[in-house]
Amino acid sequence: MKTCLVVDDSSVIRKVARRILEGLEFQIVEAENGEDAIESCKRQLPDAILLDWNMPKMDGYDFLRVLRRLPGGDRPKVVFCTTENDVAHIARALHAGANEYIMKPFDKEIVEAKFQEVGLI
């Protein structure tokens, strides 16, 4: 079973994402911010990361830059999932090493399509 780290400061979003991704047969790990997510990745790298942008302590963009420098940190497929829905943010995320980008609000079909696009399902 593949693992997905869901990083979002909203417990509601984490709950919704968990329900969708468990339906796609992912094992879920949660983190509330970028710092906790880095600690989680240092313990065990997931196959996928669903990543919010705006979070306290460390935001998603900074998390991604740190992640990609970790040993093996290039392996997880990172899918941003954020309300930052403009082209400039999308371009920045891709430049920093994001594999896909979900603009909130989202639904199961969108998550499934994006995960399929990057070869996770």
Partner 1 sequence: MTPQDYDYLRRRLKERSGLVLSADKEYLVESRLLPVARKAGLTGLAELVHVVMSGHNEALMTAVVEAMTTNESFFFRDKIPFDNFRAVIMPALIAARRKTRAIRIWCAAASCGQEPYSLAMCLKEMEREIAGWRIELLATDLSNEVLEKARQGIYSQFEVQRGLPIQLLIKHFTQTGELWQLAPSIRAMVKYRQLNLLSDFFHLGTFDLIFCRNVLIYFDQETKSDVLGRLARIVASDGYLVLGAAETVVGLTDSFKIVPDKRGLYVPNTDWPKISRPTAGQRAPRLVAINGGSR
The site for partner 1 (CB under 8 A) is made up of 85-87, 90-91, 94, 100-103, 106-107, 109-110, 113-114, 116-117
Q: Which of 65/89 has CB closer to partner 1?
A: 89
Q: Which helix (H) or strand (E) holds 49?
A: strand 48-51
d(CA 81, CA 75): 19
Peptide bond into 46 cis (omega under 30): no
Min dist. Cβ of residue 4 to partner 1 (A)? 18
Min dist. Cβ of residue 7 to partner 1 (A)? 18
CA 50 → CA 44, 103, distances in Å? Answer: 15, 12
Min dist. Cβ of residue 121 to partner 1 (A)? 11
